[in-house]
Amino acid sequence: MLKPQGLKRGAKIGVIAPASPPAPSAVEAGCEYLKERGFEVTIGKSNYGRFRSYLAAPDRTRSRDLLEMFQDATVDAIFCARGGYGCLRLLPAPLPETPKIFLGYSDITTLHLALNQKMVTFHGPMVASNFGELDPFTEENLWQMLTKPMLCALPHPDSLPPPLTIYPGSCEGVLCGGNLSLVTASLGTAYELDTRGKILLLEEVDEETYKVDRMLRQLSLAGKLQSASGIIFGYSPSIAPQREFLELLEELAALKKPVLYGLAFGHGTPKLTIPLGVHARLNSSAGLLTLLESPLI
């Protein structure tokens, strides 16, 4: 798995909108924050276009932004502006040869699945969605992970309930996954997630429990839950009704492998930045996820 170089002060960050249109004011606020942190910023054309009601720009523009940011030797990292919908429309696409820090979540999961076939990427906050109001926990973890990540258990914010052990145990594996809807949508495609021996990360937002049930059932029928070494479902308080959702997760105990709920990643706040494509250890009994491999060179 190819690894990117860590960010240093003065590095250039490319901001792209590969999915739905971000608010221009939010893009500008997020980019101003990056400049205040000491980075140069280049803004892709996709951030200021709109196609139909739900895409940041036509597919060609969004795809070109993505590829040109990877090909531009002066760009050190690529941060996504927001999620929504649209990344599926950019596939198939040629995979870049040179790894760079690539950051995003939600609909960006589709691009993680594609890029993780070759390189490490980062599941974390986005420029227009989060950078205008980063909480201290999210901010500290973000820059720690993208500059000098520590090989230790990932922290958990005091403001969230402690993670819930669904099935106790410990396992190791490469971290993979992202948003449940997009992981499920990858089934049957060339970008279908391979979970064999890996720690599967899943998260979802604003869905009813029966829809989560359907997607988990589909992943189970495809063998994706059974072949994973362990499963972590991120903190998802907006899934309703919450009581039924937690009862649904309890059914994962039947897999008899480490399963944990409530790690701080995904759509909630505060949120972790988690590298995908690196080796880690899950101790679901203690509610801990520990990096065993640096995501950077």
Q: Which of the residues 112, 123, 156, 267 is marked catalytic? A: 267
Helix ranges, 149-270 (H): 180-185, 209-221, 224-227, 242-250
Distance CA 221, CA 211 (A): 15
Q: Which of the residues 203, 204, 229, 236 is marked catalytic? A: 203
C-alpha distance from residue 136 to each of 39, 73, 154, 208, 269 (Å): 19, 32, 15, 30, 11
C-alpha distance from residue 278 to each of 120, 170, 281 (Å): 7, 17, 10
Q: Which of the residues 106, 129, 186, 236 is marked catalytic? A: 106
Closest to 231 measured CA to CA, from 239, 222, 219, 242: 219
Question: SS3 of 70, please?
Answer: helix
How many other C-beta atoms lie within 10 A of the C-beta of residue 33?
A: 18
Is residue 106 flagged as an active site residue?
Answer: yes
- The catalytic residues are 106, 203, 267
